[in-house]
Amino acid sequence: GAGVSQSPRYKVAKRGQDVALRCDPISGHVSLFWYQQALGQGPEFLTYFQNEAQLDKSGLPSDRFFAERPEGSVSTLKIQRTQQEDSAVYLCASSPRGTTNTEAFFGQGTRLTVV
Amino acid sequence: AQSVTQLDSQVPVFEEAPVELRCNYSSSVSVYLFWYVQYPNQGLQLLLKYLSGSTLVKGINGFEAEFNKSQTSFHLRKPSVHISDTAEYFCAVSETQGAQKLVFGQGTRLTINP
Protein backbone atom coordinates (compact mmCIF):
# COMPACT_ATOMS: atom_id res chain seq x y z
CA GLY A 1 0.00 0.00 0.00
CA ALA A 2 0.94 3.63 -0.26
CA GLY A 3 1.08 4.42 3.45
CA VAL A 4 2.08 2.95 6.78
CA SER A 5 -0.29 0.19 7.78
CA GLN A 6 -0.87 -0.99 11.35
CA SER A 7 -2.85 -3.96 12.58
CA PRO A 8 -5.00 -4.61 14.41
CA ARG A 9 -6.65 -1.18 14.62
CA TYR A 10 -8.19 -2.07 17.97
CA LYS A 11 -7.13 -4.62 20.55
CA VAL A 12 -8.73 -5.46 23.87
CA ALA A 13 -6.55 -7.54 26.16
CA LYS A 14 -7.16 -8.97 29.60
CA ARG A 15 -4.63 -7.97 32.20
CA GLY A 16 -1.72 -10.37 32.06
CA GLN A 17 -2.25 -11.33 28.43
CA ASP A 18 0.51 -10.96 25.84
CA VAL A 19 -0.17 -8.86 22.72
CA ALA A 20 1.59 -8.30 19.39
CA LEU A 21 1.11 -5.19 17.30
CA ARG A 22 2.17 -5.11 13.65
CA CYS A 23 3.51 -2.29 11.51
CA ASP A 24 4.01 -2.39 7.73
CA PRO A 25 6.09 0.67 6.80
CA ILE A 26 6.19 2.34 3.43
CA SER A 27 8.15 0.10 1.07
CA GLY A 28 11.84 0.95 1.00
CA HIS A 29 11.81 3.14 4.10
CA VAL A 30 14.94 2.66 6.14
CA SER A 31 13.86 4.11 9.48
CA LEU A 32 10.99 2.86 11.61
CA PHE A 33 9.76 4.35 14.88
CA TRP A 34 7.25 3.26 17.51
CA TYR A 35 5.45 5.80 19.69
CA GLN A 36 2.99 5.44 22.56
CA GLN A 37 0.16 7.96 22.86
CA ALA A 38 -1.78 7.93 26.13
CA LEU A 39 -5.24 9.47 26.20
CA GLY A 40 -5.06 13.24 26.00
CA GLN A 41 -1.27 13.28 25.58
CA GLY A 42 1.21 13.73 22.79
CA PRO A 43 2.98 10.69 21.37
CA GLU A 44 6.08 9.52 23.24
CA PHE A 45 9.01 7.76 21.61
CA LEU A 46 9.46 4.07 22.35
CA THR A 47 12.05 2.66 19.97
CA TYR A 48 13.79 3.13 16.60
CA PHE A 49 15.07 0.79 13.89
CA GLN A 50 17.41 1.47 11.02
CA ASN A 51 16.74 -1.43 8.68
CA GLU A 52 16.81 -4.49 10.96
CA ALA A 53 19.01 -2.92 13.62
CA GLN A 54 17.35 -1.57 16.74
CA LEU A 55 19.47 1.51 17.39
CA ASP A 56 17.50 3.12 20.19
CA LYS A 57 15.17 1.49 22.69
CA SER A 58 15.50 4.09 25.38
CA GLY A 59 11.78 4.85 25.43
CA LEU A 60 10.53 1.34 26.16
CA PRO A 61 8.87 1.66 29.58
CA SER A 62 9.78 -1.77 30.92
CA ASP A 63 11.27 -5.11 29.97
CA ARG A 64 7.75 -6.29 29.18
CA PHE A 65 8.01 -4.32 25.94
CA PHE A 66 9.92 -5.83 23.05
CA ALA A 67 10.18 -4.79 19.40
CA GLU A 68 11.70 -6.43 16.38
CA ARG A 69 12.15 -5.85 12.66
CA PRO A 70 13.95 -9.02 11.55
CA GLU A 71 14.06 -8.40 7.79
CA GLY A 72 14.21 -4.64 7.82
CA SER A 73 10.62 -4.12 6.74
CA VAL A 74 7.66 -5.27 8.90
CA SER A 75 8.00 -4.58 12.61
CA THR A 76 6.23 -6.09 15.60
CA LEU A 77 5.83 -4.51 19.02
CA LYS A 78 5.17 -7.12 21.68
CA ILE A 79 3.91 -6.42 25.16
CA GLN A 80 4.06 -9.22 27.69
CA ARG A 81 1.83 -9.54 30.74
CA THR A 82 -0.15 -6.42 29.85
CA GLN A 83 -1.09 -3.99 32.59
CA GLN A 84 -3.81 -1.34 32.67
CA GLU A 85 -1.22 1.41 32.31
CA ASP A 86 -0.30 -0.04 28.91
CA SER A 87 -3.67 1.14 27.54
CA ALA A 88 -2.82 3.65 24.82
CA VAL A 89 -2.63 4.16 21.08
CA TYR A 90 0.55 2.74 19.62
CA LEU A 91 1.74 4.62 16.56
CA CYS A 92 4.25 3.45 14.00
CA ALA A 93 6.10 5.82 11.68
CA SER A 94 8.60 5.32 8.88
CA SER A 95 11.09 7.59 7.14
CA PRO A 96 12.96 7.05 3.88
CA ARG A 97 16.51 7.49 5.16
CA GLY A 98 18.60 6.40 8.10
CA THR A 99 19.65 9.89 9.09
CA THR A 100 18.79 13.43 8.20
CA ASN A 101 15.13 12.51 8.05
CA THR A 102 12.90 15.49 7.62
CA GLU A 103 9.52 13.78 7.52
CA ALA A 104 8.01 10.82 9.31
CA PHE A 105 4.93 9.10 7.86
CA PHE A 106 2.55 7.78 10.49
CA GLY A 107 0.14 4.89 10.49
CA GLN A 108 -3.35 5.14 11.96
CA GLY A 109 -2.28 3.44 15.15
CA THR A 110 -3.43 0.50 17.23
CA ARG A 111 -5.65 1.35 20.17
CA LEU A 112 -4.87 -1.08 22.99
CA THR A 113 -7.28 -1.35 25.89
CA VAL A 114 -6.27 -3.52 28.82
CA VAL A 115 -9.18 -4.62 31.00
CA ALA B 1 17.40 16.45 25.50
CA GLN B 2 14.54 18.41 24.04
CA SER B 3 11.15 19.44 25.38
CA VAL B 4 8.10 21.03 23.79
CA THR B 5 5.42 23.07 25.53
CA GLN B 6 2.10 23.83 23.91
CA LEU B 7 0.69 26.63 25.95
CA ASP B 8 -3.00 25.97 25.31
CA SER B 9 -4.64 22.58 25.74
CA GLN B 10 -7.87 23.75 24.10
CA VAL B 11 -8.63 26.63 21.73
CA PRO B 12 -12.24 27.37 20.74
CA VAL B 13 -12.78 29.77 17.85
CA PHE B 14 -15.61 30.76 15.56
CA GLU B 15 -15.64 29.74 11.92
CA GLU B 16 -13.78 32.18 9.63
CA ALA B 17 -11.94 33.73 12.60
CA PRO B 18 -8.13 33.73 12.78
CA VAL B 19 -6.33 31.37 15.13
CA GLU B 20 -2.88 31.01 16.67
CA LEU B 21 -1.68 27.86 18.41
CA ARG B 22 1.39 28.46 20.54
CA CYS B 23 4.47 26.27 20.82
CA ASN B 24 7.72 26.80 22.71
CA TYR B 25 10.62 24.41 22.76
CA SER B 26 13.84 23.80 24.65
CA SER B 27 16.94 22.16 23.23
CA SER B 28 20.70 22.26 23.71
CA VAL B 29 21.31 21.23 20.09
CA SER B 30 20.09 22.33 16.70
CA VAL B 31 16.56 21.10 15.90
CA TYR B 32 14.03 20.81 13.14
CA LEU B 33 10.49 21.92 14.00
CA PHE B 34 7.19 20.40 12.94
CA TRP B 35 3.45 20.77 13.29
CA TYR B 36 1.28 17.67 12.92
CA VAL B 37 -2.51 17.41 12.83
CA GLN B 38 -4.50 14.45 14.12
CA TYR B 39 -8.11 14.04 13.06
CA PRO B 40 -10.32 11.74 15.19
CA ASN B 41 -9.31 8.08 15.00
CA GLN B 42 -6.56 8.84 12.51
CA GLY B 43 -2.79 8.97 12.53
CA LEU B 44 -0.67 12.08 12.45
CA GLN B 45 -0.42 14.12 9.28
CA LEU B 46 2.37 16.62 8.68
CA LEU B 47 1.11 20.21 8.36
CA LEU B 48 4.43 21.96 7.91
CA LYS B 49 8.07 21.89 8.93
CA TYR B 50 10.98 24.25 9.50
CA LEU B 51 14.36 22.92 8.49
CA SER B 52 16.37 26.06 7.65
CA GLY B 53 16.13 29.30 5.71
CA SER B 54 13.08 31.55 5.82
CA THR B 55 11.56 31.65 9.26
CA LEU B 56 8.03 31.85 7.87
CA VAL B 57 6.89 28.44 6.73
CA LYS B 58 3.73 27.71 4.78
CA GLY B 59 1.98 24.37 4.99
CA ILE B 60 -1.11 22.57 3.85
CA ASN B 61 -4.69 23.70 4.39
CA GLY B 62 -3.70 27.37 4.62
CA PHE B 63 -1.64 27.04 7.79
CA GLU B 64 1.67 28.82 8.38
CA ALA B 65 4.14 29.02 11.22
CA GLU B 66 6.97 31.33 12.19
CA PHE B 67 10.21 30.18 13.76
CA ASN B 68 11.58 32.60 16.33
CA LYS B 69 14.98 31.44 17.51
CA SER B 70 15.43 34.09 20.20
CA GLN B 71 12.11 33.19 21.80
CA THR B 72 12.44 29.48 20.98
CA SER B 73 8.92 29.52 19.59
CA PHE B 74 7.17 28.05 16.56
CA HIS B 75 3.58 29.31 16.65
CA LEU B 76 1.02 28.04 14.16
CA ARG B 77 -1.44 30.42 12.51
CA LYS B 78 -4.34 30.42 10.10
CA PRO B 79 -6.10 33.63 9.03
CA SER B 80 -9.56 32.07 8.63
CA VAL B 81 -10.55 28.67 10.02
CA HIS B 82 -13.15 26.21 8.77
CA ILE B 83 -15.22 23.59 10.54
CA SER B 84 -13.00 20.96 8.92
CA ASP B 85 -9.99 22.29 10.88
CA THR B 86 -11.41 20.81 14.07
CA ALA B 87 -8.66 18.44 15.23
CA GLU B 88 -5.77 17.97 17.64
CA TYR B 89 -2.57 19.78 16.72
CA PHE B 90 0.88 18.71 17.87
CA CYS B 91 4.10 20.65 17.80
CA ALA B 92 7.27 18.53 17.64
CA VAL B 93 11.04 18.86 17.38
CA SER B 94 13.82 16.54 16.32
CA GLU B 95 17.59 16.82 16.37
CA THR B 96 19.17 17.77 13.05
CA GLN B 97 21.77 15.04 13.48
CA GLY B 98 21.12 11.37 14.19
CA ALA B 99 17.89 9.46 13.84
CA GLN B 100 15.58 12.41 14.35
CA LYS B 101 13.10 10.81 16.69
CA LEU B 102 10.31 13.28 17.36
CA VAL B 103 9.65 14.90 20.71
CA PHE B 104 6.03 16.08 20.88
CA GLY B 105 4.12 18.62 22.90
CA GLN B 106 0.95 17.57 24.67
CA GLY B 107 -1.29 18.84 21.91
CA THR B 108 -3.85 21.60 21.41
CA ARG B 109 -7.44 20.72 20.65
CA LEU B 110 -8.84 23.20 18.15
CA THR B 111 -12.62 23.42 18.17
CA ILE B 112 -14.39 25.46 15.51
CA ASN B 113 -17.82 26.78 16.35
CA PRO B 114 -20.28 27.80 13.60
State the pairing for strand pair A44-50/B108-113: unpaired
- What is the end-to-end Cα distance of chain A in Å, rounded? 33
Counting the structural domains of chain A, the total is 1
Strands (E), A1-115: 5-7, 10-13, 19-24, 31-37, 44-50, 53-56, 65-68, 75-79, 88-95, 105-106, 110-114
- Cα distance between residue A11 and residue A13, in whole Å: 6
What parts of chain B have a pLDDT lower than 50? Answer: none
B46: nearest CB among A56, A103, A108 = A103
> How far is Cα B75 from Cα A115, in angstroms, rounded to an integer?
39
Residue-number span of the structural domain to which A37 is assigned: 5-114
CATH number at residue A62: 2.60.40.10
To the nearest whole angstrom, how far is the Cα of B68 from the nearest Cα of chain A?
Answer: 19
Do the Cβ atoms of A103 and B49 come within 8 Å?
yes
Residue B76 near chain A (CB below 8 Å): no
CA distance A113 to A82: 10
Write the CATH number for B74. 2.60.40.10
Q: Is A44 on the interface with B (CB under 8 A)?
A: yes
Our measurement of the distance from residue B21's CA atom to the centroid of its chain's CA atoms, rounded to an integer in Å, reads: 7
Q: What is the pLDDT of residue A97?
A: 79
| pLDDT value of residue A101 | 65
Pairing of strands B31-38, B19-21: unpaired
The number of folded domains in chain B is: 1
What's the pLDDT at B100? 74
Which structural domain, as residue segments, surrounds residue B27? 3-113
Give tens-digit pLDDT for B72-105.
Answer: 999 999 999 999 999 999 999 998 887 678 999 9
